[in-house]
Amino acid sequence: MAGRSRKKKEVVRVESAPEATTERTADEPTWTPTPEAKQQATKFRLIAGGLWLLAIAGEAFAIFWVLRQDPVNMVLLIAMIVVIGALAIGGSLLWKRANRLDPARKSEPTRFFIQNQLGAIITVIAFLPLIVLIFTNKDMDGRQKGIAGGIAVAVAAVAVFFGIDFDSPSVEQYSEETNIVEQLTGENLVYWTRSGSVFHVCEEVPDVNRESQDGRIYEGTVADAHAAGKSRLVSYWQREAVNYCGYTQEQVDAVEAGGSGDDATPPADDDATAPAEDAATP
């Protein structure tokens, strides 16, 4: 609201992921994770794999023991369905965290798809045979099949949703974002809020200065932002850079053209605004 003073938010430096490096190629720098980031990603993947193995083991127990009882123990069957779903979701969440520390390359499409959607694939494997056998079980009546099958389908749908990565990270994306930020600002440093979904090139933009529950703006590298769950650099970073961050249109144009925008002198901020893309808490 105009005329109303607002307390400046605290800026907190985040070190959630070790700073990555860039390797120079003939075209442009390529982002690569540090050994520490790869080690952490490997740990998350091993734990995720363990949870998925337990989920599949639970499926086997439900298929080869629970469903072969006469009568079928409905309480145990439903409990196993819920446990399998929880294990699948836990594995998928850890796998996604690992992918944000050590993403795949879009230039390798098969690996890129499998690595980013493996949670959904494993979930289907952990549920589909069980669901089919529930609906075809001869020792269960129609009511039991409807209850157990309906719960299994619902839990599987939720688990598959958590297994799908709708914003699949890639080496190419991290490289492009890091290059943009470094060429524009001279360092790999971006800003975000806990509730937002994207990150920004400076701490002065309105999206990160909206009132929030923790009253903080987080700063860190592009890799830190992704590790914190932010999907990408805000799409209108060019307008934010000119309107709020003190950069000229010439500097922005130079970055978009692949050059460096360090030579121009930043002007004073103006009052132009951009539509809010960051889902910060108002």
CA distance 164 to 155: 14
To which residue do tokens 């289907």 refer?
A: 124
Say yes or no to pLDDT of 275 above 90: no
Per-residue pLDDT tens over the stretch 51-84: 999 999 999 999 999 999 989 999 999 999 999 9
Is the dihedral angle over the CA atoms 33, 39, 44, 49 positive or is it negative?
A: positive
Q: What is the pLDDT of residue 280?
A: 42
Q: What is the pLDDT of residue 63?
A: 96
Are the C-beta atoms of 91 and 122 separated by less than 8 Å? Answer: yes
Say yes or no to pLDDT of 35 above 60: yes
Q: Domain coordinates of the chain in residue numbers?
A: 35-163, 170-282
CA-CA-CA-CA dihedral for 177, 183, 187, 191, to nearest 10: -50
Q: What is the pLDDT of residue 214?
A: 78
